Structure 1
Amino acid sequence: MKLASLNHGRDGQLIVVSRDLSRAVHAHNIAPTLQFALDNWDQVETDLQHLYRNLNDDIAHDVFPFNPKLCASPLPRAYQWADGSAYVNHVELVRKARGAEMPESFWTDPLIYQGMSDAFLGPYQDIQAADEKWGIDFEGEIAIITDDVPMGARTEQVHGHIKLLMLVNDISLRNLIPGELAKGFGFFQSKPASAFSPVAVTPDELGNNWHDFKVHHRLTVHLNNLLFGQPHAGTDMTFNFAELIQHITKTRQLCAGSIIGSGTVSNKDRSSGSCCIAERRMLELLDQGDAKTPFMQFGDQVRIEMLDDSGHSIFGAIEQKVVRYTNIYDDEDLNRHKPM
């Protein structure tokens, strides 16, 4: 089953999307929003699946063309966005880029941070930044959405808790990261709003390419219409999604609608390219003694997508442009609100 959220209010309007991403139908008679569906999954899943089958069989009513540019992220906001670094090869390279050694424990104990989740960007929404000097970078990832997961869940117990999968652009401001991490309190300013693919899919949509709690397809990233990387998401994933859930729920439960990210998809095979600029810069530094690829500038575009074995898009694409952010509190407004 494939689900999406049209831009509508804070939480979107749930629609069911055809397997080929060409058509859609409203699901408001079953669930007004994706969060509602996740909160009531046992009650609504059968009806949503029935609507999905009818849509694919061309017998659904009130069908309309699917336009991903009208979509918000599947969950426009979420109660939980926990992003991991499951591809430790990427972690090792990026830490080298800022002169930090990687502890051996990183190969056995996952890294996870809690990101901004109160307002995600839509898949075609501009990336706003006030300054190019912040080191604007994209990060192509995969994410899962869970239902309620109890504290202390083990890897063998989490299969049924993974309800949906989607793609992520976890935007990073690389030049702000070192100063923040030096404080010893983690990311904040350096991790603005992320964007997710227009469509979220149930694991069965991936067929045999979903096993071992990993997605076994290549993730393709283009920068300014040029191929930047296409690493295989099922290769070199040190921690699978079940292991990430087990790590997260050691001390807390997860509520329905929690999103868990894989971290930047990365392969040890360098011919696969990269899913973020920081990794390519580190490889350039190691190979050539100098990092040559610049971070994103105003006007640059990134496209993140995953194709099935027949070359068809699974989740739809994330396609975003970097634009300059203009502060709404200009000098006139500041003067207007100064205390008398």
Structure 2
Amino acid sequence: MKLASLKEGGRDGTLIVVSRDLSRAVRATGIAATLQQALEDWSNLAPRLAALSQALNEGSADGVFDVDVAQFAAPLPRAYEFVDGSAYLPHVARVRRARGAEVPESFYTDPLMYQATSAGFSGPRDPVKVVDESYGIDLEAEIVIVTDDVPMAVTPAQAAAHIQLVGLVNDVSLRNLIPQELAKGFGFLQSKPRSTLSPVFVTPDELGDAWRDNKLHLPLLTHVNGAWFGAPEAGVDMQFDFAQLLAHAAKTRPLSAGTIVGSGTIANEDTSKGASCFAEKRTVETLESGAATTPFMSFGDLVRIEMLDRDGNSIFGAIEQRIERQPLP
């Protein structure tokens, strides 16, 4: 099934079920008012949501309306937790090589992960608001999974059973603010504003054989200002699968229902498949020609992030948003 939230009913939106072709929807408020509420009682409510999804796709549901993605909030307008990994080591290796550093051996056995911003996510058509272009505005096209309640110290095999939904994220970064923050040795803060989630989240069964080994085996397609930017294969070169990332996050603490876990920027060894962020593209340029030539993003630029199934159908709908100046208060 495919789930989304409308921009109504307060900060957490109104839960809706969306048809497989993303054209129609029905409110699910008779089952759960919000997606967060559904996740907190997932074992009981998911079968009822699935039945409503089946009725919608068969044409027998009541209260059906046409989808208008502009009215969509993020599926989870806010989450209790968002932890973002860096599971694609080709990206990590290239960035480090560009500055003359090697990848530590531990990176191959112990996932990189940080605590990301979760108090609010932008809707799929909301603009990216930034005060100053000089911050180095970058997109990051990633995959996310969403959990029910996860016990502390689960194994990867146990963690896999807690992956309930899959989606996309534009994990916006302000690259020129990152070096000073990392130099302090205490991680990201100002350099990581709010992220944007795909129009819908889907249950893994919707992905068919593209979801296997706790990875999503399809290209993640990014366009900037209508031009192809990249389509790296998400199932290739992923050092840690989502179950491993989830187990890593839960090693010393339980995770609340609605926790979002990010894959990190999708990147392949094969650079002909393009990039999922400007930092990656600029790093490849530096390695190939000695200097980065592509600037970071500017006000007015348009980002589109989407994943298509093998028949060319959009799975999660598209994140499509413009970079805009945020006025000072």
Pairwise TM-score range, normalised by the shorter structure: over 0.9
Write out aligned runs for 1:152-231 (5 A): 152-231=153-232
Aligned to 2:123: 122
Deviations 1:280-322 (A, max 9, x none): 0010011111101110000001100000000000000001111
- CA shift for structure 1 position 93: 2.1
What is the rounded CA distance, in whole Å, between the counterparts of 1:289 and 1:231 in structure 2?
23
Please say if residues 134 and 176 of structure 1, whose CA atoms lie closer than 8 Å, have aligned partners that are also in contact.
yes
What is the rounded CA distance, in whole Å, between the counterparts of 1:169 and 1:269 in structure 2?
22
Q: How many residues align?
A: 328
- CA shift for structure 1 position 5: 0.4
What is the rounded CA distance, in whole Å, between the counterparts of 2:95 and 2:145 in structure 1?
24
Q: What's the TM-score once normalised by structure 2's chain length?
A: 0.98
Unaligned runs of 5+ in 2: none
2:320 aligned counterpart, secondary structure: strand
What is the rounded CA distance, in whole Å, between the counterparts of 1:78 and 1:263 in structure 2?
18
Unaligned runs of 5+ in 1: 329-340
What amino acid maps onto 1:51 in structure 2? L
Please say if residues 98 and 287 of structure 2, whose CA atoms lie closer than 8 Å, have aligned partners that are also in contact.
no
Deviations 1:55-109 (A, max 9, x none): 0001111100011111111100000000000101112223345565432211111
What amino acid maps onto 2:279 in structure 1? A
Aligned to 2:31: 30
Structure 1 residues 128 and 98 mapped into 2: Cα distance closer, same or farther (>3 Å)?
Answer: farther
What is the rounded CA distance, in whole Å, between the counterparts of 1:120 and 1:93 in structure 2?
29
Deviations 1:254-305 (A, max 9, x none): 1100000000011101110000000000100111111011100000011000
What amino acid maps onto 2:273 in structure 1? S
Is 1:237 matched up with 2:238? yes
1:14 aligned counterpart, secondary structure: strand
What is the rounded CA distance, in whole Å, between the counterparts of 1:3 and 1:225 in structure 2?
27
Aligned to 2:75: 74
- CA shift for structure 1 position 159: 2.3
Structure 1 residues 190 and 96 mapped into 2: Cα distance closer, same or farther (>3 Å)?
Answer: farther
- CA shift for structure 1 position 167: 0.2
Please say if residues 98 and 178 of structure 1, whose CA atoms lie closer than 8 Å, have aligned partners that are also in contact.
no
Is 1:7 matched up with 2:7? yes
What amino acid maps onto 2:144 in structure 1? A
Structure 1 residues 97 and 134 mapped into 2: Cα distance closer, same or farther (>3 Å)?
Answer: farther
Write out aligned runs for 1:76-95 (5 A): 76-95=77-96
Aligned to 1:334: none
Q: What's the TM-score once normalised by structure 1's chain length?
A: 0.95
Which deviates the most, 208-217 or 88-97?
Answer: 88-97
What is the rounded CA distance, in whole Å, between the counterparts of 1:287 and 1:104 in structure 2?
25
Aligned to 1:278: 279
2:310 aligned counterpart, secondary structure: coil
- The structure with more radius of gyration: 1
Aligned to 1:63: 64
Please say if residues 51 and 60 of structure 1, whose CA atoms lie closer than 8 Å, have aligned partners that are also in contact.
yes
What amino acid maps onto 2:70 in structure 1? K
What amino acid maps onto 2:269 in structure 1? K
What amino acid maps onto 2:234 in structure 1? A
Which deviates the most, 92-101 or 308-317?
Answer: 92-101
